[in-house]
Structure 1
Amino acid sequence: MTKVGVEQSLSNVSAALREKGYDVVDLKQENDAQGCDCCVISGLDSNIMGMQDTITQGSVIEANGLSADEVCQEVEQRFGRQQ
C-alpha cells in the first residue's frame, strides 16, 4: 500500500486519499515524512529559509491551487494506483 504524508492543513486531501485506500500519515513534524512514498504539501511556507535537507526519497506534490481530486490524480499518476 502506498504511504502518503499530507500536511495537516490539507485535511480535505487526507480524507480523499484515505477514501481511495491510501495509507495517509499526517505531517506534524519533519521526521513524519520518513518512509513515505509521497508527500503532499500546501506550498505556502515552502523552503522559506532556503535549506535543502532531504527527509524522504519520495515524490513531493505541492497542492497549492489544486483540488483534493486533482491531488489524488497526481498521486495515482505517480504510483499507478498501487493501493
Structure 2
Amino acid sequence: MSIEIGSRFQISQAIQEYLNSAETLTVISNNGVTIQFSLGDAKGHGSMPIEHFQYLQKKLNLKIIPNKKSFIASNENSSEQIS
C-alpha cells in the first residue's frame, strides 16, 4: 500500500501518549524510506521510517481517514449501480 502525501490517519489511544496526545496524523512527505508527518491540533511534527509506519498500520494503531473526494466518488458509483 502506497502512502500518499496529504493522507490523514486516526491515532489509537494506545499510542497517543507517544505522539503528544494527538488524535490525528497527516503525512506531509514520503521519500520511500522516511515518512514526515504533522500531528493534529498543532501538537507537533516528526518523522519515522516507513517500515515502522506500516507496522503501526498493520497493528491498527493508525487507521486511515477517508478523504471527502474518495467518499463522494464512491457514492457516485453506488448511485450509478442502483439505476
| TM-score relative to the length of structure 1 | 0.24
Larger Rg: 2
- Structure with more of its chain in helix, by fraction: 2
Greater RCO, CA 8 A, separation 6+? 1
- Structure with more of its chain in strand, by fraction: 2
